[in-house]
Structure 1
Amino acid sequence: MGLTEDRERFREAGETRREDLAEFISRGDLGGSGADRIRIPVKIVDLPAFEYDQRSAGGVGQGGDGQPQPGQPVEPEPGDGDEDGEPGEEGGDHEYYEMDPEEFARELDEALGLDLEPKGKQVVEEVEGDFTDTARAGPRGTLDVDEFFKRGLKRHLATDFDDAYVREGLFVAGADVDDVFAWARGEGIPVSRAWVADAAATLADERGEPVAALDRWESFEALDDGVDREPVTQRIRREGLDSVPFRREDERFRHPEVIEERERNVVVVNVRDASGSMRETKRELVERVFTPMDWYLTGKYDAAEFRYVVHDAEAWEVDREEFFGIQSGGGTRISSAYELVEELLEEYPYSEWNRYVFAAGDSENAGSDTRDNVIPTMESIDANLQAYVETQPGDGAANARHADEVESAFGDADDVAVARVSEPDDVTDAIYEILSTESSGGGSAPDGATVARRTDGGEHR
């Protein structure tokens, strides 16, 4: 194996072999990333290389200060041993693989077996496509000649008829103009009474005697038996077509097709319990679930906006940094957060925005607040997906009932998800549980529906 192959092997084993994504989400340093760049630690393998000794070694076969004498101690060169300085003064270099949210979303789809397909809602612009539409008015240069000819020909065929056949009706014994006209129209011939009258007058002038004296057929039935009516199309094939009479209403002008471009946009409202029971471990679990989902949805949508709400007994809006860092204190009334969520979502009409509401806490809530207030409010919110994440390490608390009550109320609804996280290893399962819940049939308007489904067919871990 040559040097080139060695280098390629080391490169593959190092720079492009990033840490397992699920492990990074569960236990890695999420704080090193930003909204637009996700930094994932990578395993680096140092490449072997030759290096020149930069120390001054004197002449060939000579000591640094001439030829040493027997018994003379040899002083170590600088850098051979320990040097002055405190241990740990400088940190080592760490390598990271940086990806944008779009790549992160693709990686998470592959890692968890997801396939979220967001649809556009808000019309951002209307563009002109190919000239496939037609209108009755337009510049002369855009006249659709083919369509013009087709319409004129179609009308001509619809109004043309075998005039010789109709004239034979004038030779039926006892038939006048009205009788011939009624017979012809009964046969489906598009002739006018005026035409029949003109034909009768012409025949009378040519022969110098009334048409009644020219009886040839005893009845119209006898005429039908004795004369074959020639279809118009057959006559045109035989005689050809000298001209097609066109009318202005036959004109059609080519216009470009108008195409609506819709922006795949989303607003995500993240809600976190900041009551006194939400200690550091629980807050960290919330961050580990919400942060990757924010990155994921940013990568999936053309435009993503995030709003952050924290609550104890009251609720208020904060920025992202404060959302994850705010200290806990106070009581708990989860409905206060959902009341604020409803107000925030008024800025994002459901007909124009995909909407997600993600809440997290330790499932502890005041009295019957979940049943009496939270669940009715959740039912009234139009959203693609709502989710509650219970972060309760260990066996949980006896009064941690919120997640159970929400789950019981909504059952297997495809626009509400409940996930439970008791340790970091549960994080990716919770993310999958939330994002795979939404389907095209639930919670969203037809033009904003999305689909999230398993694609690997296996057990999710």
Structure 2
Amino acid sequence: MGLREDIERFREVGEDRREDLSEFISYGDLGGSGPNSIKIPIKVVDLPKFEYDRLDQGGVGQGKGGTPDVGQPVGQPQPGDGDEDGDPGEEGGEHEYYQMDPEEFAQELDEELGLDLEPKGKEVIEEIEGDFTDVTRSGPHSTLDFERLFKEGLKRKLAMDFDDDFVREAMKVEGQDAQSVYRWCRERNILVSLPWIEDAWTKIPDDERGKWASFEEMEENVERSTTLQRIRRDGLRDVPFRREDERYRHPEIIEEKEKNVVVVNIRDVSGSMREKKRELVERTFTPLDWYLTGKYDNAEFVYIAHDAEAWQVDRDEFFGIRSGGGTRISSAYALAKEILDEQYPWAEWNRYVFAAGDSENSSNDTTENVVPLMREIDANLHAYVETQPGGTAINATHAEEVEKALDDQDNVVVAHVSSPEDVIDAIYTILSTEAE
């Protein structure tokens, strides 16, 4: 195995040693990634490389070339021991990352959690022409389906074809005329028309009339050929086509629906939301953002922060905001409803409303205001994530009240996160509810 193969093998090992996705979500540096590029650390693997061996320098203890013997001081560092200017290096070593886009992240998270969320297309963005699989009775001559036309004519040919020689022999039966021969043909399902018989009757030579004493005698002595035998013998001389046989190929019209999603992320930034609670919110919401971005054609995000009042913020501010004051969660839902109604109509957008906090809320706000607002806001999924490190506080009742009041709704889910280990389970709970 050569050096190039060695290097490729080491690189493959490096990718295999990428930090586990669950481990990265629970403990990794999520802030080092952007909304469209996720950077997952790779555990360090040293690649093989050449190093220059200074053969003329000798080694410590050899006493050659002016180098000190054992026990002698080596002196002060000389230029070249640091960087090229003699100063110590200041830059840290580069860390290796496995980089993926949201689509790959969503696929891997599906595999990790055993999910397969199928996005819904709502808004028709365009109608495109597919394969020429449809047919119409009219159209440009260039789209005439000759194969279908021939088949229709051939079916008629086979249905109407008869052994004309056999019928002419029947006209030679003694005492018969054109009408009696026509009735005899009909009794034997020989599809011949009366005008044809009348025309053929006039062409029978007089000396051949009375050749057969009866139809039975004629049938015993004259073999009737099948359509297939006649085609093999004489070939297919003509196929009768009619206007109604014409079919024109037409492209199938396919509606393309764009899979649009808007995700409203709501977080509590009141005074009770300490650092550990904030971290749990961000660890839960960040992967959900990446996942839905990867799943949908067009994903938009609305970020709302609230204490006693609510206000809209941008993404960077949302993932890192600090505030204080009291808590009134309904203010955030009221703002979310206003934004969704004005900018993201339910008929055109898939809508997700995710909220997180420590489950503490002002008195009666949950039952009197939040729950009615959640019922009013049409959404694929409403999710509330309670972040209470170490367990639920006595006055943290919002999650429980939502769960109890909206138990009849199949698009509402409550998840509990008390430590980083709970984040993956919370994400699974949220996404599996939507998948179902």
TM-score range, shorter chain: 0.7 to 0.9
Q: Which residue of 2 is the match for residue 438 of structure 1?
A: 434
Letter in 1 for 2:424: T
Partner residue, 2:209: none
Q: Tell me if the contact between 2:144 and 2:247 (Cα under 8 Å) persists in the aligned partners.
A: yes
Query: 2:403 matched to which residue of 1?
Result: 407
Deviation at 1:143, TM superposition (A): 0.9
1:62 and 1:244 mapped to 2: Cα distance?
107
Equivalences for 1:50-449 in 2 at 5 Å? Answer: 50-53=51-54, 61-63=64-66, 75-78=75-78, 90=90, 92-97=92-97, 98-154=99-155, 236-237=227-228, 243-346=238-341, 347-411=343-407, 414-440=410-436
Secondary structure of the corresponding residue to residue 39 of structure 2: strand
Contact in 1 for aligned 2:118/2:435 (Cα 8 Å): no
Question: What residue number does 1:17 align with?
Answer: 17
- Does 1:34 pair with 2:34? yes
Say if 1:397 and 1:260 are closer, same or farther in 2 by CA, change over 3 A: same
Whether contact under 8 Å (2:116, 2:435) holds in the other structure is no
| 2:299 partner SS | strand
User: Residues 279-303 of structure 1, C-alpha deviation per residue, up to 9 Å, x if partnerless?
Assistant: 2221221111000111111122222
Conserved 8 A contact 1:132-1:256: yes
CA offset digits 1:153-211 (Å, max 9, x no partner): 5567778899999xx9xxxxxxxx9xx99xx9xx99999xxx879999999xx9xxxxx
Query: Structure 1: any 5+ residue segments left out of the alignment?
Result: 169-176, 207-222, 228-233, 441-461
What is the Cα deviation at residue 388 of structure 1?
Answer: 0.7
Tell me: CA distance 1:108–1:94, structure 2 relative to 1, closer, same or farther (3 Å).
farther
Listed one character per residue, the Cα deviations across residues 350-400 of structure 1 (whole Å, up to 9, x for unaligned) are: 343322111111112223332233223323333222211001122332221
Instruction: Give the distance between the partners of 1:190 and 1:343, measured in 2 at CA.
Output: 76
- Corresponding residue pairs, total: 404
Distance 1:19 1:238, change over 3 A: closer
SS at match of 1:284: helix
For 1:124 and 1:270, locate their aligned partners in 2 and report how far apart those are by CA, in whole Å. 26
Query: 1-side partners of 2:45 and 2:77: how far apart?
Result: 29
Cα distance in structure 2, aligned partners of 1:77 and 1:364? 61
RMSD between superposed Cα atoms in Å: 4.8
CA distance in 2, matches of 1:72, 1:395: 63
Asked if 1 retains the 8 angstrom alpha-carbon contact of 2:329 and 2:370, the reply is yes
TM-score if structure 2 supplies the norm length? 0.74
Q: 1:266 to 1:188 in 2, by over 3 A?
A: farther
Shift of 1:144: 0.6
Q: Aligned AA for 2:17?
A: R
Q: Residue 222 of structure 2 corresponds to which residue in structure 1?
A: none
Distance across 2 between alignment mates of 1:72 and 1:236? 116
Contact 1:39–1:99, Cα closer than 8 Å, also in 2: yes
Show structure 2 runs of 5+ residues with no match.
171-178, 205-214, 220-224
Q: Distance in 1 between matches of 2:325 and 2:277?
A: 16
Equivalent position of 2:175 in the other structure: none
